[in-house]
Every structure is written in C-alpha cells, then in structure tokens.
Amino acid sequence: MNGTVLVVDDILDNLRVLLNFLSDAGLEVLIAQSGESGIERARYAKPDLILLDVLIPDINGFEVCKVLKMYSETQYIPIVFMTALADTTSKIRGLELGAADYITKPIQHKEVLARVNTHLSLYRLQKQLSQQNVQLQVEIKTRQSAEKQLVEQNYKLQEEINTHRQIQHYLEKTKRDLMAKNIELQEEIEFRKEIQQSLQSNNDSLHQEIDSRRQVQRSLQKTNTLLSEKTTELERRNQELDIFTRTIGHDLKSPLGGIISLTKFLANQGFKNGLDYKSLKHIRLIQQSSQKMLDAVSTLLLLVSISRKASITLDTIDMVTLIEQVLETHQPLIEEYQANITYPPNLPTVNSCITWIETVWNNYLTNGLKYGGKPPKLTIGADKAQAGKIRFWIKDNGEGLSVEEQRKLFTPFIRLNKASNGHGLGLSIVKKAIEGLDGEVGVESQKGAGSTFYFTLPSISPDT
C-alpha cells in the first residue's frame, strides 16, 4: 500500500501512534496539530487522504472540513473524521459536510488500515477514471474529425463521378452522331463517284475529313479508357472508406463496453460503500454517455453493413428476451426520464438478424424516451400484419405528428426536433435494415394522441 495521508490532531500521543503504524504500512504520513496548519498543509501537499480529529482547539474538525471542500485543489480529497463522539447527529453533520467516513476513538489499527486502504483505492480509481474519460474524449474528437474529412472527400469524389458520367454520356452521343454522319458521307462519296468524275478533288478532301473524324474517334476511346480508370479508382477509395469505418467502429466497441461494465461495477460498489450522491451521479453520467456512444457505433456499423450489402446470419429471435436486453442497456436513460414501459410476457418468435433488430429497438426506444410524454409511457406489442408477416410496435404518449411530419420520417438527415443533437440518420437506417430483412416500417399518429412506430418481419409460421 502506498500513498500520502495527512493526520490532523492536537494530541501528540495520537499523532505518534498514527505516524508509526501508518508508516509501517508503507504510507507517507504528514502531520498537523491545529486546524489552520492542517488546512495549509492540505492545500500545499495535496495528500491522497486526510484523517481529521473533530475536537481541535482552534478550529473544530467540522469547520476544517467545510473550508477544505471550498478549495478546488482539496475539495475531492477524501476526509475521514476521528472522534470519540458516538452520537448520530455528529456523524450526520460530518457526512453532510462532505466527509467520506468516521473512525471512532480509541483507534483500532486494523480498522484504520482497512478504511484508509479502501478510501485510497476509491480516490485513485476516481482519478484514473477521470483521466481515461479525458483521453477518450480527445480520441473521439480526433476520430470524428477524420471521419468528417473522409465523408467530405467521398462527397467530392461522387461529384467528380457524376461529372465524368455526364461527359461520358455526351461523348457517346457525339460518337453516335459522328458515326451516323460518317455513313452519310460515305454514301455521298459513292454517289458522287458514279455521277461525276470531275469531283475527284472534292473526294480527296472528304477522305481527309474522314481521317480527321477517325482521329476524333481514337481520342474518344482514350477518354473512355481514362474515365474507366477514374471509376475504378473511386470504387477502390470507397472500399478503403468502408474498411476504415468498420475498423474504427469495432475498435471503439471494445473499450466502450469495458467502460460501461466498469461504471456499472463502480456504481454498485459505490452504493454499497456509501459513496456520496454526487459521485454516483457522475458515474451514471459516464455510463449513459458511453451507452449513447456504443449505440452510435452500432448504428454506424449497421449502416456500413447495409451499404455494402454484406451477407447476414438469420437466427431464431426470442423478442421478449431481446427487448429486455435493450431495456437493461438503456436503464440509466429510463431512470432519467422516469419512464413507464410495459410489454406482454410473450411475443412472436421470428427468424431474422438479431444485431439489426436490436438496433431497430434501440432507435425506437430512444425516440420514445426523448420525444414521448413527460414522463414517457411506452407500450410494446405485436399483432398480425398482411399474410405471412408479424407487426411489432411501440406506442408513446407524446404530442403526436402531423401528416407532413410523418411524410418526412425515415428520410436521411431529417430531424423534426431541431433541438436534438443527432444527425437524422437513425430512422432512415431502421428503414434500410427492415427492408433488407423483407419487412416494412411505418408510423401511425395524429396531433395530441401520441405515435405508434412499427416494423414488420416475415413470420416463422405460414399461418400467422
């Protein structure tokens, strides 16, 4: 065990005892015999933990704690009170001021070491998590910038392709016109040879013109070859963009999954160990942000998979189990919106691509939580659609959509809610995914009566 501990106590015997057994445990120990000196040493040395006696003559421990929590350089240092006071009121007051724990005098060495070790570990873990979050934000911005540049390059290349195609179309039309004209000239030459020998001189000119047109044809052939090479190059660059996007997506999924698992563990451990509400809220915020990023990466990979028409694997999907998994990953968002979500214990089973259907539910559920009522009340269900199809749906209690708004849904880069920080791709990707699985998407809504978003899939049973 290593770290720096500041002990603030006005009794020398207590200081001597704590200094000896904490030093023996491998800790660097700093001491202060008054509240004022304790505040100064804490601000200067910035220890990893402070053991603070409640009953100090000049400034009591409660006031020292209050002062330390006011300074930015010391506000996050865990403080453990040492006191002979056993009343609950004193303990509550200390915890309300921001103390991490209490140690009751007379001091028990093993208990002190255990509590010191626990709070040092929590403090280090909090600092490490904060540093990792900063590094992750930097990496995300870097990758987003790179992705934006690639998208811009791809857009320019697409414009160049369109331009070349227009040129090619014009050249092909010109070629056909020239060939038709050439035939006419040949016929005219033959006709003039039969009619008048005196026009031989004009025939020589016509032959020269024919040679000139043949040169034009050769030039057109070279141009066509160049356009073909450009098209091949653009296809190669698109493939590189596809590979780069999939690589970034898969590289992000693993660390994001680790962060989500770690934050869940930290939240559970923090709740069990009495971690303060502010720290738990920060952990929850990290968990929610990581989940949003993971959903975005999964949606991006789905879009790439659909765009390159990759082969998919169909599995038997227990829709209730899948919905419960999606709800679990969105639990922080559900708690934030205080949503009420109901679904039946049994839903039809289908053969489909589980990763694509999971992304569909992710988008429908997220939209229902964000744009449903306040608080959202969501109902999930299924019923029979046209022959051989099952319709799955989610109904909200939001404001509803006008006919014009419904028409714009499922269109790329269209956001009905301008305050949203999304890109307007979610529902358009849902549409592509479901259509790729031989299904359909849609919405039923009217102003003031909420909305029902649905998708259909082929049924396993032909009678359904």
Rounded Cα distance, 400 and 373, in Å: 10
**pLDDT for 200:** 74
Domain spanning 312-458, CATH architecture:
2-Layer Sandwich (3.30)
Lowest mean pLDDT among 119-128, 204-213, 415-424: 415-424
**Of 295, 341, 289, 344, nearest in space to 319 by CA:** 344
Rounded Cα distance, 163 and 159, in Å: 6
Question: Percentage of the chain with pLDDT > 70?
Answer: 78
Indicate if the pLDDT at residue 273 is higher than 80: no
Identity of the amino acid at 423: H
In angstroms, the Cα distances linking 260 to 296, 297, 311 are 14, 14, 30
Indicate if the pLDDT at residue 412 is higher than 70: no
| Domain ranges for the chain | 4-107, 134-287, 312-458
**pLDDT for 418:** 46
The DSSP result for 340-399, as a single string, is: EEE--S----EEE-HHHHHHHHHHHHHHHHHHS-SS-EEEEEEEE-STTEEEEEEE--S-
Helix (H) or strand (E) holding 97: none
Per residue in 174-216, pLDDT (tens digit) is 888 888 888 888 888 788 887 878 657 666 777 888 888 888 8
Per residue in 129-157, pLDDT (tens digit) is 878 888 888 888 888 888 888 888 888 88
Domain 4-107 has CATH 3.40.50.2300: yes
**Of 58, 5, 67, nearest in space to 33 by CA:** 58
CA 74 to chain centre: 33
Rounded Cα distance, 6 and 68, in Å: 13
